[in-house]
């Protein structure tokens, strides 16, 4: 019985951890740095990226929407 509870707790922990990680890492830091660089070097006035996955829709924006 104790082994079953331990196995269940481990399963819940890893499931919860992977879901939390997936929700916060929809866009890598490398991509965010590239977006920031493009805006700061006047290549684009602003950039918006939308990502749709199993956890919903996520948006990331940087810069301005008009000149």
Low-confidence winner among 7-11, 48-52, 62-66 (lowest mean pLDDT) = 7-11
pLDDT of 28 strictly over 80: yes
Share of the chain above pLDDT 70, in %: 60
Q: So what's the pLDDT on residue 59?
A: 86
Q: How far apart are the first and last CA of the chain?
A: 65
Phi/psi-derived region of residue 42, left when phi > 0, alpha when psi is between -120 and 50, beta in every other case: left
Could you give the CA distance from residue 3 to residue 17 in angstroms, rounded to a whole number?
Answer: 21
Evaluate whether 11 touches 17 at the Cβ level (below 8 Å): no
């Amino acid at each position: 019985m104790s082994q079953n509870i331990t196995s269940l707790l481990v399963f819940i922990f890893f499931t919860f951890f992977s879901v939390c990680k997936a929700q916060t890492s929809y866009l890598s830091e490398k991509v965010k740095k590239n977006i920031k660089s493009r805006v700061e070097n006047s290549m684009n006035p602003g950039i918006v990226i939308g990502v749709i996955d199993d956890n919903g829709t996520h948006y990331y924006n940087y810069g301005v929407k008009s000149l």
